[in-house]
Structure 1
Amino acid sequence: MTHDEHVVLVDAEGEAIGTAPKSSVHGADTPLHLAFSSYVFDGEGRVLLTRRASHKRTWPGVWTNSCCGHPLPGEKPADAVARRLAYELGITAASVVLVLPGFAYRAEMNDGTVEHEMCPVYRALVTEAPRPNPDEVGDVRWMPWKEFAEDVMSGLLAISPWCAEQVPLLAALGPDPSTWPEADPADLPPAARVAR
């Protein structure tokens, strides 16, 4: 990915208000911007966890959900999920389904670096083994969803702050990720409702 990749800046209602280089938006005064989180599952109901590469600007070396990223201006978030899964993990998703359209969060690292995102959450299904890109991913691990969710919610598993907030919301959708209902794209932030 190029270093001049742009992210979509949004206001509190989720309306697009401009773009900015990705390299410039993660600091002490991170503006609210559009992102996504995805949870990749295999046919056995296991979730793919990834450890962020140690040189990442935000939360380096921290375990998190399968893949996160930013839709490019004019890109559907589901297409961004597929693009980043291919780039970060070398996998093609058999399906990408919206499950939490309205998730948003703000988190601050010990050094003052802030993440501030409107971050719809997607479930992806894969049938192939990941091939992690070391530029993005330090390690991967498959884990049964029930065990993972319980460990996150009980505090037994150290995980990224956004993942810690998302897991209880996902668990509330039901114990079997394959039966989570697909959310209505109309409930996405307006900036994420891309027509093409």
Structure 2
Amino acid sequence: MDELLDIIDTNGNPTGTTALKSKAHRLGLFHATVHIWFYTKNGDVLLQQRAQNKDTYPLLWDVSVAGHVGSGETVALSAIREIKEEIGLTVREANLEKIGVFKSMQKHHDTLIDNEFHHTFLSELKVTLQALEKQENEVTDLKLLSISEFEKELFTSNIQYRNYVPHSSAYYKTVIATIKTKL
């Protein structure tokens, strides 16, 4: 879906301009996204398998919920909206803990350049996996994986990130370390 985004500069500051997502990706214009990592008190992390039709990283496992911040939308409201859309869960802003903003620059090819600032949150998952309703055009599958197994798969396999979206190791390490403090 093409949506209107607020364009930001290379430091994450508003420029006062907007562009459609397709144009922002085509020209490599910086914009904001939200990443929400759900974890359980049992030490599991919720992972999303991206849909087969995605332009980037189809069928790879990724953050529980992610999406673009719409023009004029606050980061928190965007996170709440994306959670509802992608996994059918209603979450209040008070249940989102922001753990950082991560700059990401990915040139997939000449006409798809993802220059984004990921506003990243944690939230405790308090429902069963079966209670979640995945958005079919965005999410192929959902699974819970122990944080220790997730860390092992990311950092001790011979082919690093082979099944996962290749976010930076610093990003993954920050997310994992912060989740561990919640357990």
CA contact (8 A) 1:93 1:126 kept: no
Displacement of 1:145 = 1.4
CA–CA distance in structure 2, aligned partners of residues 174 and 126 of structure 1: 12
Give distance in 1, aligned partners of 2:133 and 2:169. Answer: 25
Residue 97 in structure 1 maps to residue 97 in structure 2: yes
The structure with more strand, counted as a fraction of residues = 2
- Assess, with a 3 A threshold, how the Cα gap between structure 1 residues 81 and 171 changes in structure 2: closer, same or farther: same
Partner Cα distance (1:8, 1:62) in 2: 27
* CA spacing shift, 1:106–1:156, aligned 2, 3 Å: closer
Q: What is the one-letter code of the residue matched to 2:22?
A: S
* TM-score using structure 2 length: 0.83
TM-score (norm 1): 0.78
SS, match of residue 131 in structure 1: coil
2:76 is aligned to 78
Runs of 4+ in 1 over 4 A off after TM superposition: none
Instruction: Please give the alpha-carbon distance, in whole angstroms, between the structure 2 residues aligned to 1:112 and 1:59.
Output: 15
Shift of 1:38: 1.3
Contact 2:105–2:115 under 8 Å retained in 1: yes
* Residue type of the alignment partner of 1:160: V
Q: CA shift at 1:156, angstroms?
A: 6.2
Q: Tell me the distance in 2 between the aligned counterparts of 1:115 and 1:156.
A: 19
Q: Matched residues, percent identical? A: 24
Aligned pairs, number:
174
Q: Tell me the residue number matched to 1:192.
A: none
Query: 1:168 maps to what in 2?
Result: 173
- The one-letter code sitting in structure 2 at the alignment partner of 1:130 is L
The CA deviation at 1:120 is: 1.6
- Map of 2:154 onto structure 1: 152
| Paired residues of 1:90 and 1:131 also in contact (CA < 8 A) | yes
Q: CA 1:22 to 1:75, structure 2 compared with 1: closer, same or farther past 3 Å?
A: same
The letter for the 2-side match of 1:67 is V
Whole-angstrom CA distance in 1 between matches of 2:47 and 2:122:
13
Give, in whole Å, the separation in 1 of the partners of 2:146 and 2:91. 19
Question: Match of 1:130?
Answer: 132
Q: For 1:169-188, what aligned pairs fall within 5 Å after superposition?
A: 169-173=174-178, 175-176=180-181, 178=182
Residue 182 of structure 1 corresponds to none
1:41/1:92 CA distance change after superposition, 3 Å = farther
Q: Is the 8 A contact 2:25 2:111 kept in 1?
A: no
Report if aligned partners of 2:147, 2:176 keep a CA contact under 8 Å in 1. Answer: no
2:22 — aligned with what?
23
